[in-house]
């Protein structure tokens, strides 16, 4: 599988906030994340970095 994990950047640290991301939507300033099982999480954040080879999305 090639799903990505989403990390929240806090200073110099990165905290895992969502695993196995399959779908990402935006509603204004909110990100709606969904995994393969249909589980969702909504956060108020913006994408800061995409590390595609690492399957890693950094938000802040």
- The band of 1, judged by pLDDT with boundaries at 50, 70 and 90, is low
- The band of 2, judged by pLDDT with boundaries at 50, 70 and 90, is confident
pLDDT in tens, 41-53: 999 999 999 999 9
Structure tokens at 49: 């970095």
Query: What's the number of domains the chain is made of?
Result: 1
Query: In which domain, by residue range, is 10 found?
Result: 4-59
Distant-in-sequence, close-in-space partners of 7: CB < 8 Å, separation ≥ 6: 14, 15, 16, 17, 56, 57, 58, 59
Structure tokens at 39: 């589980």
Residue 57 has a pLDDT of 98
């Amino acid at each position: 599988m090639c799903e990505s994990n989403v990390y929240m950047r806090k200073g110099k640290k990165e905290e895992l906030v969502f695993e196995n991301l399959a779908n990402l939507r935006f509603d204004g300033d909110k990100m709606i994340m969904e995994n393969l099982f249909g589980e969702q999480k909504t956060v108020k954040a913006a994408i800061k970095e995409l590390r595609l080879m690492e399957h890693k999305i950094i938000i802040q």
